Structure 1
Amino acid sequence: MRRTRSTAALVAAAVVAGGMALASPAYADPTPAGTFRQLVGVGSDTTQDVLNALAGDTVNGTSYAGTAVKSAAGAGLASYDAIGSATVQTRSAGPSFTRPNGSGPGRTALSMSLTGDKFPTATGVAIPGQVDFARSSGGPSVSGSALTYIPFARDAVGVAVRGSGLDSLTVAQLHDVYAAGSTHEVNGQTVHPVLPQSGSGTRKFFLGAIGLSESTVDTGLPTVQENQANDALTQDGTLVPFSVGSWIAQSNGIAPNKSDTAFAAGAHLAAVRLPGDTGTTNPVTTVNGKLTPVAGYYENATFGRDVYNVVPSRAIDPTSIFFDKDLYDVFVSSGTHEAALASETAEKVIADFGFLNESYNGSVNLAKHAKVGGLEISGLDTSTPAKPAVAATLGDASVKLSWTAPSPAPAQPVTDYRVTLKDADGGVVATKDLPASTTSYSFADLATGSYSATVTADNVNGTGAEATWSGAVKYASTTRATTATTAYGKAPKVAVTVTVTHGVVPGGKVTVKEGSTTLGTGTLASTGKVTVSLSNHLKVATHSLTVSYGGSSKLNSSSEKLSLKITKATPSVATSAPASVAHTSRAKVTVKVTATGTTPGGTVRVYEGSRVIATGTLSAGKVTVTLPKLSKGRHTLHAFYAGSTTVNSRNGADFTLKST
């Protein structure tokens, strides 16, 4: 939409109609003095008056108490002006600190409220928790995601001028007038360009719109407080960027009038040739004696702008431990939830102050005009944490994620950990935000299947790098095993029972190991039981065994440790000898030693009483021993097996040998 009607004429009409207030400037913090409310905002001069009204305060003599915006729980706004007393105190027991003047200082104050740094510089005052939102007429100056810029309304930046020679302007003329090295002329007329104060959102936006920046603008230009024409337009030929919404609100007597002297001297908004147009467009028109916005100018991409309320991103995230429901209720529209600032009553107040209401007001969707940015603190380390080290323990239809803090620790400390579980298709199953002191979290009552999870460490700068886990969630199994002390040579048996829940029939393989050595395996029957036989030649010792069930498609693995004691085998000693022998001869005695599952080896001794009369070494479990010559008479003898590392010692039965 393009309008070419002279602004000067419109202003004159407004004066005649009584629509232009000529009251003295007035400034207001939450009233009455000493009032403290829950949701504290500072920053932009452009939106301070409308936010004061929405807070329920008195603005330019009109009380807005009846239309005060509050959260569902009754939390109200406290909007502090950009200019006024040198300091503000925003909490009943809080410190007094330098009043933030402008969008940039407001965002800095919000940032330092989050970090606990001193505002406005290291020689200032620490302000942790003293600011909840910042009024901003511009977008982010720092990349990042710590702050969310929620569109509040639509404004435009016009050029307020004094003198008829500046009734219409082009972008190119504005660029040349404000650029470094400019001769400050328009159509051969000397002009006097003025800029808003440093840190002003209007200043930053205007320079960008005309193709300049702080490094290319004429740094010698005078500066004044934004949106105050009295100080800026002091002579014919002066021009200054101005919020059109603020111009309308002051002209119509809605906002405190800081431009009345300039209005009386003929100050007006210039018509501007918008990029792509052949004619000029006036930012305002007159309806029933009042100035109103020209929608085509407001919606123009060069001079139209969204104005924002800036909040900590984590404070409006319902899944965050820092979630502030009151802040969310007032500022955020999402799904069926409508921001209190987007209500019909609030939008009427917003319109009265010269702004356009948009369908996306209150949206935090980045595709619908919302923006995100980093903390605005000079010299701040803006890095987010590295990824933590994560491990997982699978349970009964559950997974427990454990992690250790990122290393090295980030410059801005970890404030919380965010854990997200996704299903096999990548859909989010659950998200949990946890305090920095917490290092584990369990997801329970899950359906069996494949899952993935991420764990991030967060700080005030935003979300850190993701640590990931993936695996299968199954039902729990419990393995129980028993065994008995077993003699060497006999096969030890391990009785294994695997029990489960959820009606699943256990199946699969059971393994018995000693250390890394597999001693035996078995396959479960449908009853969940199996007996595993081990080698009959395990060494004589106490063995530490691990009995493991490998799991199945629906069951987790499980294991149990137990001890198996292997003892020496018990032998039998049999002796074969002649009944008699001549005393001049030497008898031969055969000794056979047997034991279950093994062939004993070692030494055999033949005794007469307690005296050893002969020895021999077993071969294949037996030995023939030649006795010495025996004196005439009956001799009672017995064989003794001395044992080995695997077989116990044993005496054989007495036998009698007659020497003749």
Structure 2
Amino acid sequence: MRRLRSQAAFIAAAVVAGGIALASPAVADPDAGAFRQLVGVGSDTTQDVLNALAGDTVNGTSYSTTAVKSANGAGIASYDAIEPGTGSTTSSITTRSGGPSFLRPNGSGNGRLALSEALTGDKYPTSAGVSISGQVDFARSSGGPSVSGTALTYIPMARDAVGVAVKGSALDTLTADQLHDIYSGTLTTVNGQTVHPKIPQAGSGTRKFFLAAIGLTDATLSPNVTTVQENQANAALTEDGALVPFSVGSWIAQINGVSPDYSKTAAAAGGHLASVQLPGDTGGATSPVTTVNGKLAPVTAYYDNSTFGRDVYNVVPSRAIDTNSIFFDKDLYDVFVTSGSHTAELASDAAEAVIAKFGFVNESYNGSISQAKHAKVGGLEESGVDASVPGAPTVKTTVGDASLKLSWTAPAATALPVTDYRITLTDADGGVVAIKDVAATTTSYSFTGLTNGTYTATVTANNLNGTGAAATWTGAVKYTSKTAATTATTAYGKTPKVAVTVTGSHGVKPTGKVTVKDGSTVLGTGTLDASGKVTIGLSNHLKVATHSLSVSYPGTSSLNASSTTVSLKITKASASVSTSAPTSVSHTAKAKVTVKVTATGTTPTGTVRIYQGTKVIATGTLSGGKVVVTLPKLAKGKHTLHAFYVGSSTVNSKTGANFTITSK
């Protein structure tokens, strides 16, 4: 909707004629000693609507019945940019019971600075100030971030616009080019009227936004431009030709008597919002405001314009609204965040009715934390802060029964210390299985109850500046198998056996082969039967000793590998000794005795002795398990003899049965 100067003047006159009282600013800070959980500071533009949403009295109207609170009952404490009642910009506030008193943050930039230093614990507003660690929870901001990063999230609350409050009919209609030239100092008269440009104080979000909209910066702003407190027309529009950027929402709320009055005296003297030729719009200049039932109201075309329309934000620590973070603040989340099925308390019908009353336009993205839906992210707004984020931790992994354990060592130190670690587990399709945030003192975490599959785990170290580089592991997670084995003591020459049983967790039946090794030597393999069992026969010529065998199962696509050790004792074989000898021999002849030594599974070797009583009378060496021993000449008479097998490294010794030879 278009509105030219004559209409704007009519609106201002109508408001004054309507008898709206020129109220002095009402106290809007929380009552002294009435500390609330969610402390906000910063923007002058949104302070009054936040005060109302906090349930305080604003310009004589109590908003206690529409106070916004979290599900746990936590309320908002919104502190004005300047001291209510006095207008002082040098007063202090105390936001927590027993907390420090610190300079009242004046404007969006200072509000974001205070929030940043409440996180870092540094002094506000300079090193000569006081530490305000934990004293601020959110910042009111009429503009986006000025520092890149992710430490802060800018949550849109509503739509505002920046207009130009002017005095004098010569400035009824302005263009962006004229505004550029006026504020750069190259244009000093408009329609024959000398211009007197004013600009809000340093740190003002309106100042920053307006300069960007007309293509200037603080560096290119004319030094002749006078600085004033933002959104206060009475102090700015003191002469014809005066002009100052102004929040349209604040102008509407003040002129309608909703917000404390800093502008109606100027409006009664002819001050008004100029119509602006919006860039890209060839249909004529657009007034930021119209009148509805005798009250000012926003012109949506002006608010929607990408040059002069703007979102206004509540700025919060990103980690405080991250539901997976150990720093998650449920109360802050309840009040400010709309995500999925969760609706911000500030986006309730009652809250949006209050927002509209203060001259803002409600949008569907109230409370959004998605950058695709008007949210923004930025870094800590504190000079001299090292913006480095941590490097990647050094990670080790242990795969268990449907589980994964990650342990890590901290990365190299950064200027801002590690505050926490974020562990994320995704499946083979990239779907997030789990996210866990743990304190900086924690160095391990386990995921349990996983199904079979390939997973990717990442571990990041985080500090206040944001998320560091990720350490990544990708691998298979399976169920556990358990391998058990038994053996029996076995004599050399007999086949030793290893009875193996493999079981799988979660009811999974193991399949495949198992392998038995002695050191690095494979002794045997076997295939599991349907019950997960197999008996593996080994070589019957294992060294006589106690062997420590390893039994390993390689696993399957569903089961992890497993192994066990089992002791196998190999003893010497038992020998049998038989003899064949003549029953009589001439005393002049030498008798020959055949001795045969046998053992199961092996052919004994070694020495055989022939004894008469305890005296060895002859020896022989086995060949092929037998030997023919020639005896010495025996004296006449009957001789009782026996053979004795000495034994070997693999066969036990053995004494043969007695035999008799008669020497004649």
The unaligned stretches of length 5 or more in structure 1 are none
- Pick closer, same or farther for the CA change 1:503–1:382 going to 2, 3 Å: closer
Structure 2 SS opposite 1:330: helix
Shift of 1:274: 0.6
8 Å CA contact 1:496, 1:530 repeated in 2: yes
Q: CA deviation at 1:143?
A: 2.4
Residue 485 and residue 412 in structure 1: after superposition, are their counterparts in 2 closer, same or farther (change >3 A)?
farther
State how far apart, in whole Å, the 2-side matches of 1:110 and 1:216 are.
Answer: 28
d(CA) in 1 for partners of 2:380, 2:521:
58
Contact 1:161 1:267 in 2 (8 A): yes
Q: How does 1:493-572 map to 2 (within 5 A)?
A: 493-500=497-504, 504-572=508-576
Q: Tell me the TM-score normalized by structure 2.
A: 0.89
- Is 1:386 the counterpart of 2:392? The answer is yes
TM-score w.r.t. length of structure 1: 0.90
Q: Equivalents in 2 of 1:508, 1:62: separation in Å?
A: 80
Deviation at 1:466, TM superposition (A): 3.7
2:159 partner SS: strand
Structure 1, 194-203 or 375-384: larger mean CA deviation: 375-384
Deviation at 1:652, TM superposition (A): 4.0
- Say if 2:148 is the partner of 1:147: no
Using the TM superposition, give the Cα deviation of residue 117 of structure 1 relative to its aligned residue in structure 2, in angstroms. 3.2
Gaps of at least 5 residues in structure 2 are 84-89
Matched, 1:59 2:65: no
- CA 1:659/1:331 → structure 2, altered by over 3 Å: closer, same or farther? same
Q: Does structure 1 retain, via aligned residues, the 8 Å contact 2:389–2:467?
A: no
The structure-2 alpha-carbon separation of the partners of 1:194 and 1:591, relative to structure 1 and needing over 3 Å to count, comes to: farther
Q: Which residue of 1 aligns with 2:101?
A: 96
**Structure 1 position 78 matched with structure 2 position 77:** yes
The alpha-carbon deviation at position 301 of structure 1 amounts to: 0.2
- Supply the AA of the counterpart residue of 2:465: N
Q: How do residues 8-407 of structure 1 correspond to structure 2 at under 5 angstroms? A: 8-19=9-20, 22-26=22-26, 28-30=28-30, 32-84=31-83, 86-179=91-184, 182=186, 184-186=188-190, 189-218=193-222, 221-278=225-282, 279-378=284-383, 379-395=385-401, 398-407=402-411
* Superposed displacement of residue 299, structure 1: 0.7
Q: Does the residue aligned with 2:246 lie in a helix, a strand or coil?
A: strand
Compared CA separation, residues 503 and 183, structure 1 to 2 (3 A): closer
Match of 1:480 in 2: 484
Of 331-340 and 184-193, the range deviating more from structure 2: 184-193
Q: Residue 141 of structure 1 contacts residue 376 of structure 1 at CA under 8 Å; is this kept in 2?
A: yes
CA distance in 2, matches of 1:645, 1:413: 69
User: Which digits, 9 at most, give the CA deviation of each residue in 1:430-468, with x for residues without a partner?
Assistant: 434344426122231x55455444444433333344444
CA deviation string 1:25-61 (max 9, x = no partner): 455321x211101111111111111101110111122
Cα distance, 1:237 vs. partner?
2.7
Distance 1:464 1:405 in 2: 14
Paired letter, 1:536 = N
For 1:553 and 1:106, locate their aligned partners in 2 and report how far apart those are by CA, in whole Å: 57
Amino acid at match of 1:268: H
Alpha-carbon distance, 1:123 to partner = 4.1
Contact 1:478 1:500 in 2 (8 A): yes
Secondary structure of the residue that 1:194 maps to in structure 2?
strand
Is the contact made by 2:82 and 2:106 (CA closer than 8 Å) also made in structure 1?
yes
The number of equivalent residue pairs is: 654
The Cα of 1:557 is off from its aligned counterpart by 3.7
Aligned-partner Cα distance in 2 for 1:17–1:239: 25
Query: Is the contact between residue 389 and residue 406 of structure 1 (CA under 8 Å) also seen in structure 2?
Result: no
For the residues of structure 2 that align with 1:324 and 1:316, how far apart are their CA atoms?
6
Give 3-state SS (helix, strand or coil) of 2:177's partner.
helix
AA aligned opposite 1:68: A
How far did residue 276 of structure 1 move? 1.2
Q: Which residue of 2 aligns with 1:433?
A: 437
Task: Provide the C-alpha distance between the structure 1 equivalents of 2:235 and 2:492, rounded to a whole number of angstroms.
Answer: 106
Look up the equivalent residue of 1:594 and give its one-letter code: T
What's the CA shift string for 1:575-604, capped at 9, x where partnerless?
A: 445556666666555544433223334444
Instruction: Report if the CA contact (8 A) 1:184-1:193 is conserved.
Output: no
Secondary structure of 2:207's match?
helix
Q: Deviations over 1:73-128 (max 9, x none)?
A: 21111111122363322111323333222212222222232333333344433333
AA of the residue aligned to 2:75: G
How far apart, in 2, do the equivalents of 1:653 and 1:56 lie? Answer: 115
CA separation of 1:225/1:648 partners in 2, compared to 1, >3 Å: closer, same or farther? farther
Contact 1:388 1:457 in 2 (8 A): no
Distance 2:247 2:476 in 1: 58
CA distance in 1, matches of 2:353, 2:390: 41
Q: Alignment partner of 1:11: what SS?
A: helix
Flag the 1:382–1:9 CA change in 2: closer, same or farther, 3 A.
Answer: farther
Partner-residue secondary structure (3-state), 2:495: coil
- Give me the whole-angstrom Cα distance separating, in 1, the residues matched to 2:578 and 2:128: 103
Distance 2:623 2:123 in 1: 93
RMSD of aligned residue pairs (Cα, Å) = 3.0
> Which residue identity is paired with 1:380?
D
Deviations 1:317-339 (Å, cap 9, x if unpaired)?
A: 33333332222221122233322
Shift of 1:151: 0.8
* Secondary structure of the structure 2 residue equivalent to 1:108: helix
1:407 is displaced (CA, Å) by 2.7
SS in 2 for 1:50: helix
CA–CA distance in 1 between the matches of 2:574 and 2:55?
A: 99
Larger CA deviation: 217-226 vs 279-288 = 217-226
TM-fit CA distance, 1:393: 1.8
C-alpha distance in 1 between matches for 2:77 and 2:404: 44
Map residues 450-489 of structure 1 onto 2, 5 A cutoff: 450-489=454-493
CA distance 1:656–1:568, change in 2 (3 Å): same
In structure 1, give the amino acid aligned to 2:42.
G
Q: CA deviation at 1:392?
A: 4.1
**In the alignment, is the contact (CA less than 8 A) between 1:385 and 1:414 conserved in 2?**
no
2:4 aligned with 1:4: yes
Mapped to 2, the partners of 1:457 and 1:615 lie a distance apart of 82
Q: What secondary structure, in the 3-state scheme, does the structure 2 residue paired with 1:155 have?
A: strand
- Give me the whole-angstrom Cα distance separating, in 2, the residues matched to 1:367 and 1:413: 31
Amino acid of the structure 2 residue aligned with 1:546: S
